[in-house]
């Protein structure tokens, strides 16, 4: 299954456990570029934010995961912005 198809599966997840299962399989390799990692974390955050509304029994835990993934993406953005300003 192509990664884009797997992201579709992540969007169809109905529980936090399903989301964890699908998202963990989409994690890029440890040597992936920062932009690839940032995009993964952004997409992952969106999945967990949606799960927070769908799987109400795990609402707060899903919000935690959404925030965690969003913060990771923001950290990468800051690092990338720092590199841009030093090379400009």
Handedness of CA 57, 60, 63, 67 (dihedral sign): negative
CB-CB contact of 40 with 26 (8 Å): yes
Residue 85 has pLDDT above 90, yes or no: no
Q: What is the pLDDT of residue 62?
A: 98
Structure tokens, 2: 């192509």
Structure tokens, 69: 């993934």
Residue 88 has pLDDT above 60, yes or no: no
Q: What is the pLDDT of residues 23-69, one digit of tens each?
A: 999 999 999 999 999 999 999 999 999 999 999 999 999 999 999 99
- pTM exceeds 0.85: yes
For the chain, how many residues are written?
88
Residue 87 has pLDDT above 70, yes or no: no
Among 28, 36, 62, residue whose Cα is nearest residue 47:
62
The C-alpha atoms of residue 70 and residue 44 are separated, in whole angstroms, by 8
Cβ-proximal residues to 36 (8 Å cutoff; 6+ apart), any chain:
28
């Amino acid at each position: 299954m192509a990664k884009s198809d797997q992201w579709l599966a992540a969007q169809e997840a109905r529980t936090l456990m399903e989301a964890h299962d699908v998202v963990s399989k989409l994690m890029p390799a440890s040597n992936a570029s920062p932009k690839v990692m940032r995009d993964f974390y952004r997409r992952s955050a969106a999945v967990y934010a949606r799960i927070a509304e769908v799987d109400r029994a795990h609402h707060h835990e899903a919000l935690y995961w959404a925030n965690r993934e969003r913060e990771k993406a923001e950290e990468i953005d800051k690092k990338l912005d720092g590199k841009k300003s030093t090379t400009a």
